[in-house]
């Protein structure tokens, strides 16, 4: 056969690359209950769809070519639910998947190609930081910038044009953390960790002794920092979550998300929605139960469910079309939104505005959580950042005032004058500057001498005019609706503001470069 020697050389090189870090390293990965980089890609993508590029990449350091197959990063293109994606998987069996120049070029190639042609990228992370000694010295450090005027900026920043997903599948320090900060959606497997620097570096450099879990485990990032959007029990669940998430996303920002058939039984519980809301105004309830009645059956996909729980942010479908839900949660702090909740909502506004997802605001909020602790967290600045982000949203916005709507929070939840395409209230709505109980104490003084009857009279006085009819009568809001008609109302508004609009549901993406990690 012609060129037999050359073909045999090619076969051997590719066979060596497919061995990754070798049998012992692969066994160690499996013994830890984890998949290898290529196994992860096969589990994530539609079967047989992976088209690898850069298989023959290797380190540019002298004598390291044979020790660095694919230079520690497996990448290419494939399909998820029949749609094209780019994928990058850190190969922990090769030099701990540390960051390197050649792998960096491969990553930039895949990300920029996907961005140019309009399809998502998924980064599967399990890696150490920058590879040493490659990065040591002035030439080593400067070379990581890629050699061009803005090549490092292109790698380490982005304007959202296509969805970017990061999965944390092991101990991740350095680059995987940067990728999580850039991503629109982050899934973290329990038992993993991520951070800027690992415990070993901290111990040597700072004398700080800490475990991976304490430094950057899933509970920290799911509940405290909000850096991860969802958590998974294992890698298989992680890949399912990613596939499900992408089902709510367009491939790029010049199209709307994919529509689905409306599941049988959707909306059938709208007749029972009033059973969820307590008649006593100071009683809590779970807003998720209300949302489940309104949206298509089993379509709720919560974002950051364990972080900032005074607010709910969730993707869903109504009438088969993707929507974003922003709602208050009366079960937590009576729905008073704290700074974590504000950050959570702002990042969600960025996601929805960037990818043409209409927003539905379900309002039951007594105000923002204030006080000394809140001021130390710069609550005022957070509130105004929230307002500024809301002002840049260009997708359709629908507001339903369900119960409480007090003070500045009324406007932040897309109240009158805040850009809503439709704003209506339930007859149960209460709208005013502050809660009547607080107003009575401010106006009359919280005197112990007042009888219970006197206190009730004062509260009733402050509650006058808080029903929604005053605002509806002067057309500050558009209507007061029967709560059982909420789903039908939303469908009608979405059809005229998205489906039949001249924009066809495509926004202006003014929040496409707003940071979503704070």
pLDDT at residue 146, rounded to an integer: 80
Is residue 33 scored above 80 in pLDDT?
A: yes
Is residue 471 scored above 90 in pLDDT?
A: yes
136-145, 271-280, 356-365: which range is least confident on average? Answer: 136-145
Q: What's the farthest any 2 CA atoms get from each other in the chain?
A: 105
Mean pLDDT (whole number) for 196-220: 75
Is residue 361 scored above 90 in pLDDT?
A: yes
pLDDT at residue 128, rounded to an integer: 83
Map out the domains of the chain with their CATH numbers: 4-246 (3.90.226.10), 270-429+467-499 (3.90.226.10), 433-466 (no CATH)
- 168: which strand partners? 125, 188
Q: Global pTM? A: 0.93
pLDDT at residue 126, rounded to an integer: 93
**HSE on the CB side for 94, CA within 13 Å?**
29
- Nearest of 179, 123, 346, 351 to residue 249 by alpha carbon: 351
Mean pLDDT (whole number) for 311-330: 98
pLDDT at residue 369, rounded to an integer: 84
Q: Which residue has the higher pLDDT, 281 or 352?
A: 352
pLDDT at residue 143, rounded to an integer: 86
In degrees, to the nearest 5, what angle opens at C-alpha 141 toward C-alphas 137 and 146? 145
Burial of 39 (0-12, 13-18, 19+ CB in 10 A): middle
Residues 153/159/160/161 CA torsion (nearest 10 deg): -100
Mean pLDDT (whole number) for 349-377: 93
Is residue 409 scored above 80 in pLDDT?
A: yes
Is residue 353 scored above 60 in pLDDT?
A: yes
pLDDT tens per residue, range 209-266? 778 888 889 999 999 999 999 999 999 999 999 999 999 999 999 999 999 999 999 9
Q: Contact 329/365 with Cβ under 8 angstroms?
A: no
pLDDT at residue 230, rounded to an integer: 98
- Nearest of 110, 7, 4 to residue 57 by alpha carbon: 110
Is residue 455 scored above 80 in pLDDT?
A: no
Is residue 443 scored above 80 in pLDDT?
A: no
pLDDT at residue 52, rounded to an integer: 97
pLDDT at residue 449, rounded to an integer: 60
C-alpha span between 429 and 468 (Å, rounded): 6
pLDDT-derived band at 478, boundaries 50, 70, 90: very high
pLDDT-derived band at 201, boundaries 50, 70, 90: low
Q: Contact 368/399 with Cβ under 8 angstroms?
A: no
Distances (CA, A) of 257 to 97, 140, 246, 272, 314: 34, 43, 9, 30, 15
Mean pLDDT (whole number) for 73-88: 97
- Nearest of 141, 229, 218, 144 to residue 185 by alpha carbon: 229
DSSP state of 32: T
C-alpha 329 chain-centroid distance: 18
Mean pLDDT rounded to a whole number for the chain: 91
Distances (CA, A) of 286 to 51, 95, 99, 248, 311: 46, 48, 45, 24, 11
Helices marked H in 274-333 — which ranges? 287-294
């Amino acid at each position: 056969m012609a060129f037999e020697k050359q073909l045999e050389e090619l076969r051997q090189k590719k066979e060596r690359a497919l061995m990754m870090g070798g049998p012992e390293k692969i066994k160690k990965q499996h013994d830890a209950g984890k998949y290898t980089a290529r196994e992860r890609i096969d589990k994530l993508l539609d079967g047989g769809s992976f088209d690898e590029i850069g298989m023959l990449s290797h380190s540019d350091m002298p004598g390291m070519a044979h020790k660095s197959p694919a230079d520690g990063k497996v990448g290419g293109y494939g399909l998820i639910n029949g749609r094209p994606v780019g994928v990058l998987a850190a190969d922990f069996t090769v030099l701990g998947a540390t960051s390197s120049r050649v792998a960096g070029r491969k990553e930039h190639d895949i990300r920029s190609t996907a961005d140019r042609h309009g399809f998502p990228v998924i980064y599967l992370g399990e890696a150490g930081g920058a590879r040493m000694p490659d990065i040591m010295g002035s030439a080593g450090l400067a070379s990581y910038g890629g050699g061009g005027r803005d090549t490092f900026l292109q790698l380490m920043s982005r304007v959202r044009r296509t969805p970017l997903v990061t999965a944390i599948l092991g101990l991740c320090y350095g680059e995987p953390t940067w990728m999580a900060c850039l991503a629109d959606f982050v899934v973290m497997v329990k038992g993993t960790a991520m951070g800027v620097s690992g415990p070993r570096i901290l111990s040597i450099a700072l004398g700080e002794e800490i475990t991976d879990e304490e430094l950057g485990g899933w509970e920290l990032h799911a509940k405290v920092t909000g850096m991860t959007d969802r958590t998974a029990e294992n890698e298989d669940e992680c890949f399912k979550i990613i596939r499900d998430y992408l089902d709510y996303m367009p491939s790029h920002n010049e199209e709307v998300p994919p529509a689905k058939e409306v599941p049988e039984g959707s909306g059938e519980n709208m007749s029972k929605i009033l059973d969820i809301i307590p008649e006593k105004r100071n009683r809590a309830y779970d807003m998720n139960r209300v949302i489940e009645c309104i949206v298509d059956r089993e379509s709720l996909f919560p974002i950051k469910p364990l972080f900032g729980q005074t607010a709910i942010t969730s993707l869903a479908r109504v009438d088969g079309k993707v929507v974003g839900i922003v709602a208050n949660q009366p079960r937590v702090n009576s729905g008073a939104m704290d700074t974590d909740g504000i950050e959570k909502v702002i990042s969600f506004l960025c996601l929805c505005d960037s990818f043409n997802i209409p927003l539905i605001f379900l309002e039951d909020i007594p105000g923002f959580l204030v006080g000394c602790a809140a001021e130390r967290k710069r609550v005022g600045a957070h509130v105004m950042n929230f307002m500024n982000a809301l002002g840049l949203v260009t997708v359709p916005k629908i507001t339903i005032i369900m119960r409480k709507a007090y003070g500045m929070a009324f406007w932040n939840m897309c109240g009158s004058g805040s850009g809503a395409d439709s704003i209506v209230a339930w007859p149960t709505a209460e709208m005013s500057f502050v809660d009547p109980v607080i107003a009575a104490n401010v106006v009359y003084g919280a005197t112990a001498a007042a009888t219970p009857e006197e206190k009730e009279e004062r509260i009733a006085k402050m509650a006058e005019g808080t029903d929604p009819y005053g605002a509806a009568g002067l057309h500050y809001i558009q209507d007061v609706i029967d709560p059982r008609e909420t789903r039908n109302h939303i469908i009608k508004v979405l059809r005229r503001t998205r489906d039949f609009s001249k924009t066809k549901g495509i926004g202006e993406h003014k929040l496409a470069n707003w940071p979503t990690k704070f």
